[in-house]
Amino acid sequence: MIICPSCSAINSNLNATCSKCGFLPEKVDGFCAFYSELVHIGGDFKSSYFSELARLENANFWFRSRNHLTLWFLKAYCPNISFILNRALELDVQR
C-alpha cells in the first residue's frame, strides 16, 4: 500500500504512479523518491559516515541485535515482504 503524497489516495498496487491523480515520484540517484525535497536533508549526518557505519555494523552488538530483531519482525508480521520488495525492485528496473 502506498499513500500518494500529492492527493493522499491509497494505492493498493505497487505501481508507483497514483491511480487517482497520476502522481509519479521523481527518481533521485536511481531510486523512487516520493518526497524528493527531503532526499538530501540529513542535518549534520554526512554521507561519508555510511562507510564507517557499514564497517561497524558487522561487529557491533547493537547493530547485530537490531538487524536480527528487524528480520524477525518482518518474517513474523510481514510474511509477504520478500514478494513486495522483489516486486518493487522489478518496477524500479522497468523504469
Residues 6+ apart with CB under 8 A from 18: 4, 6, 7, 9, 11, 24
Stretches 17-25, 26-34, 44-52, 61-69: which one binds Zn ion (CB under 5 A)? Answer: 17-25
CB count, 10 Å around CB of 12? Answer: 8
Neighbour-count burial for 40-64, b at 16+ CB within 10 Å, e otherwise: eeeeeeeeeeeeeeeeeeeeeeeee
Tell me: does residue 13 bind Zn ion (CB under 5 A): no
User: According to CB under 5 A, which one of 3, 10, 21, 56 is a site residue for Zn ion?
Assistant: 21
Tell me: does residue 34 bind Zn ion (CB under 5 A): no
Cell numbers that stand for 27 in this block: 527518481
Tell me: does residue 3 bind Zn ion (CB under 5 A): no
User: According to CB under 5 A, which one of 3, 9, 78, 81 is a site residue for Zn ion?
Assistant: 9
Tell me: does residue 2 bind Zn ion (CB under 5 A): no
| Residue 34: CB minimum distance to Zn ion, A | 11
Tell me: does residue 23 bind Zn ion (CB under 5 A): yes
